[in-house]
Amino acid sequence: MAAGPLLWLAAALGPAAAAGRYSPDWGSLDARPLPAWFDRAKVGVFVHWGVFSVPAWGSEWFWWHWRGERRADYERFVRQRYPPGTDYADFAPRFTAHDFQPRRWARLFQRAGARYVVLTTKHHEGFTNWGSPVSWNWNSVDTGPHRDLVGELGQALRESNIRYGLYHSLLEWFNPLYLADKESGFKTQNFVLKKTMPELYDLVLKYKPDLIWSDGDWEAPDSYWNSTSFLAWLYNDSPVKDTVVVNDRWCNNCSCHHGGYYNCADKYKPGTLPAHKWEMCSSIDKLSWGYRSNMHIDELMDEASIIEELVKTVSFGGNYLLNVGPTKEGVIAPIFQERLLALGRWLDTNGEAIYESKPWRVQVEDTGTVWYTSKGPVVYAIFLVWPQDNVLQLSSPTPSPATQ
């Protein structure tokens, strides 16, 4: 009697899962079902932290704007604030993380209502926030903090029962191996084989992440990055093969097309209900992902904007990943803490309509001020503006005598 249901299960999971192995091609990899925890989680916190937190000016793209584009405002900034001959590598010892208290961060993120947290393990500058064996003297153990930042935060988050995601940039702006591969038209793969892929495997084996947030993919095809081989290993043989979730930034034409869930673009707003699971990443500082010492209050998202962005994202079936940039000492600025805690207070009251919800058949009223989510037979109407004359008019629900 059991044969029938078992055969049905194999068919429902698709050919790859029925055979038990994924092959290194998008047809197979894209067919993998997304682990259920991600859609249920809905709310995450993004953390951009690295050597770019030392100049703390402009954005986390500081090195590129200064040395890649040679922008006059960046050159002037360095000239006025640092000794002559200063190079980007000179910032690393000042990245101290003296005040980094991972358990305090975890408690803050928990109070913010985050069910997962994504940390930059390596941004485009190539500096790794753990002791990468292939990033000699350009990592947080050899220089700067002399600490394993990735490991310390991971332990604190796990103690708080928060899922852990690792952001990782495939490219490194000024790595000589990468520049040589680029010069060859990406016909050689020395950077991939000696640097970026060994680091990805190391991160997975060492920290067993729940999520890999890939980035820095846009200059080269998947055949250069070896993305499909890595993902096949991740899904078939890695220690997190059954639980790990990935995004869509794995090659120069992958965004919105291949991978796990879709980010599409930074701060992506689809406008209608997408057919594929997606995530919106946003930042409290509207001008930067990394910390800026000269930010102004009017450049930051206020509480109402954050809640509105969350509600619209979840109504359209997305997850909401809200970013903060800590200081070089490891402090999350009080204004960022205040915004996170405000979001958490709103979720304490209204989280029932957010966590583990699904999009309803109608996502938004024609007025644009009422948004819907659902959970089983229950429908939630979330209104962002207090209704005129204290009467909330909903045109989309069609009640029956059984409706409560």
pLDDT of 45 above 90: yes
CA distance 108 to 320: 17
**Dihedral sign of CA atoms 182, 188, 194, 200 in order:** positive
What pLDDT is stored for residue 243 in this prediction? Answer: 98
90 vs 88: CA distance, rounded Å = 5
Question: Does residue 96 contact residue 329 with C-beta atoms inside 8 Å?
Answer: yes
Of 210, 187, 227, give the one whose Cα is nearest residue 34.
Answer: 210
Mean pLDDT of 228-238: 98
- As a whole number, mean pLDDT of residues 16-26 equals 77
69-86: per-residue pLDDT in tens? Answer: 999 999 999 999 999 999
The secondary structure of 115-167 as a DSSP string is SEEEEEEE-TT--BSS--TTSTTSBTTTSTT-S-HHHHHHHHHHHTT-EEEEE
6 pLDDT higher than 90: no
Condensed to tens digits (0 to 9), the pLDDT of residues 120-139 reads: 999 999 999 999 999 999 99
Distance CA 388, CA 110 (A): 35
- Please tell me the predicted confidence (pLDDT) of residue 20: 83
CA dist., res. 247 & res. 261, Å (int): 5
The pLDDT of residue 10: 38
Residue 356, pLDDT > 60, answer yes
Q: Report CA torsion sign: 157, 108, 383, 319.
A: negative
Strand, helix or coil for residue 306: helix
Count of other CB atoms within 10 angstroms of residue 368: 10
Q: Report the pLDDT averaged over residues 339-356.
A: 98
Q: How confident is the model at residue 154 (pLDDT cuts 50, 70, 90)?
A: very high
**pTM summary value:** 0.94
Segment 350-361 mean pLDDT: 98
Share of the chain above pLDDT 90, in %: 93
Cα 76 to Cα 80: distance, rounded to the nearest angstrom: 6
Question: Stretch 130-152: mean pLDDT, rounded?
Answer: 98
In this predicted structure, what is the pLDDT of residue 315? 98
pLDDT of residue 232 exceeding 50, the answer is: yes
pLDDT at 8 > cutoff 50 = no
Q: Which residues pair with 382 in a beta bridge?
A: 371
Given this model, what pLDDT does residue 338 score? 98
Instruction: Kindly report the number of other CB atoms within 10 A of residue 280's CB atom.
Output: 23
H or E element, residue 323: strand 318-324
Listing DSSP states for 349-379 in one string gives HHGGGTTT-B--S--B-TTSSEEEEEETTEE
Query: Does 241 have pLDDT greater than 80?
Result: yes
Q: Are 21 and 229 in contact (CB under 8 A)?
A: no
pLDDT in tens, 189-215: 999 999 999 999 999 999 999 999 999
Distance CA(203)–CA(324), nearest Å, equals 22
For residue 2, pLDDT over 50 is answered with no
The DSSP call for residue 175 is: -
Alpha carbons 75 and 65: distance in angstroms, whole number = 9
Q: Is the pLDDT of residue 14 over 60?
A: no
The separation between CA 42 and the C-alpha centre of its own chain, rounded to angstroms, equals: 12
Chain-centroid distance of CA 278 in Å reads 11
Question: Which residue bears the tokens 């045109």?
Answer: 395
Residue range(s) occupied by CATH 3.20.20.80 in the chain: 26-356
CB 88 within 8 A of CB 136: no
Q: What local confidence, expressed as pLDDT, does residue 19 receive? A: 52
**Which residues does 351 contact at the CB level (< 8 Å), separation at least 6?**
113
- Structural element, H or E, at residue 320: strand 318-324
> Phi and psi at residue 60, in whole multiples of 5°?
-70, -10
CB atoms within 10 A of CB 345: 14
User: To the nearest whole number, what is the mean pLDDT of the chain?
Assistant: 94
> What is the reported pLDDT for 4?
42
Task: Tell me the mean pLDDT in the region 338-353.
Answer: 98
CATH number for the domain running over 26-356: 3.20.20.80
- How many whole angstroms separate alpha carbon 264 and alpha carbon 396? 30
- Phi-psi map region of 110: left, alpha, beta (phi>0 left; psi -120 to 50 alpha): alpha
Q: Does residue 296 carry a pLDDT above 70?
A: yes
pLDDT above 70 covers a percentage of the chain that reads 95
